[in-house]
Amino acid sequence: MSAARGVTALMILAAVFTFPVRGDDSAKTPVPPVAATIAEVAVPAQAAPAPATPAEPAPATATVQAAPASPPAPAPKAATPEVKKPVTGPLQIKMGDNISFRFGILLQPQAELLQNSAGGTGQNLLVRRARFLLGAQIAKNVFLFYETENSRLGQANAAGVKTISTGFQTLDAVVEWRFKKPFNLSGGLVRVPTSREALESSTNEFTIDFNTYAYTATGALAGTGGRDTGIMARGYLFKDRFEYRGGLFSGVRQAGSRNAFRKVARVQYNFFDTEVYGFPSYAGSNFGAKKILALGAGYDTQLDYRGKTIDLFGDFPTGFGSALGTVTWQNLDGGNTFRTTLGDSRIITVEGGLYFKRIKVGPWARYENRDFDVTNNRDEKKALFGVNYYPYGNNFNIKVAVARTSPAAGRDLNQFVIQLQAYYY
Same domain flag for 416 and 293: yes
**Which CATH number does the domain housing residue 354 bear?**
2.40.160.10
Q: Is 81 within the bounds of a domain?
A: no
Shared-domain flag, residues 377 and 279: yes
Burial tier of 148 (Cβ tally within 10 Å: 0-12, 13-18, 19+): middle
Does residue 403 sit within a domain?
Answer: yes
Q: Are residues 179 and 32 in the same domain?
A: no
Length of the chain: 425
Residues 172, 27 share a domain: no
Q: Is residue 401 part of a domain?
A: yes
- Judge whether 360 lies within some domain: yes
In terms of domains, do 8 and 144 share one? no
> How would you classify residue 257: left for phi > 0, otherwise alpha for psi between -120 and 50, otherwise beta?
left
In a shared domain, residues 116 and 245: yes
Tell me: do 260 and 380 sit in the same domain: yes
The reported pTM is 0.78
**Residues 224-266: tens digit of each pLDDT:** 999 999 999 999 999 999 999 999 999 999 999 999 999 999 9
Low-confidence residues in the chain, pLDDT < 70? 1-89, 375-376
Residue 59 lies in a domain: no
Q: Write down the pLDDT at residue 168.
A: 87
Please check whether residue 303 lies inside any domain of the structure. yes
> What pLDDT score was predicted for residue 29?
43
φ, ψ of residue 230 to 5 degrees: the values are 170, -170
pLDDT at 372: 93
**Do 186 and 234 meet the contact criterion of CB atoms below 8 Å apart?**
yes
**290 and 166 inside one domain:** yes
Q: Do residue 129 and residue 19 come from a single domain?
A: no
Residues 286 and 347 both lie in one domain: yes
Range of the domain at 371: 92-424
Q: What is the pLDDT of residue 332?
A: 96
CB 329 within 8 A of CB 309: yes
Asked if residue 97 and residue 32 are part of one domain, the reply reads no
Residue 77 counted as domain residue:
no
Whether 85 is in a domain gets the answer no
Number of domains in the chain: 2
Determine contact, residues 362/388, Cβ cutoff 8 Å. Answer: yes
Torsion sign, CA atoms 36, 42, 47, 53: positive
HEC string of the chain equals CHHHHHHHHHHHHHHHHHCCCCCCCCCCCCCCCHHHHHHHHHCHHHCCCCCCCCCCCCCCCCCCCCCCCCCCCCCCCCCCCCCCCCCCCCEEEECCCCCEEEEEEEEEEEEEEEECCCCCEEEEEEEEEEEEEEEEEEECCEEEEEEEEEEEECCECCCCCECCCCCCEEEEEEEEEEEECCEEEEEEEEECCCCCHHHECCCCCCCCCCCCCCCHHHHHCCCECCEEEEEEEEEEECCCCEEEEEEEECCCCCHHHCCCCEEEEEEEEECCCCCCCCCCCECCCCCCCCCEEEEEEEEEEECCEEEEEEEEEEEEECCCEEEEEEEEEEEEECCCCCCCCCCCEEEEEEEEEEEECCCCEEEEEEEEEEEECCCHHHCEEEEEEEEEEEEECCCEEEEEEEEEEEECCCCCEEEEEEEEEEEEC
Q: Please give the pLDDT value at position 25.
A: 42
Kindly state whether residues 307 and 213 are assigned to the same domain. Answer: yes
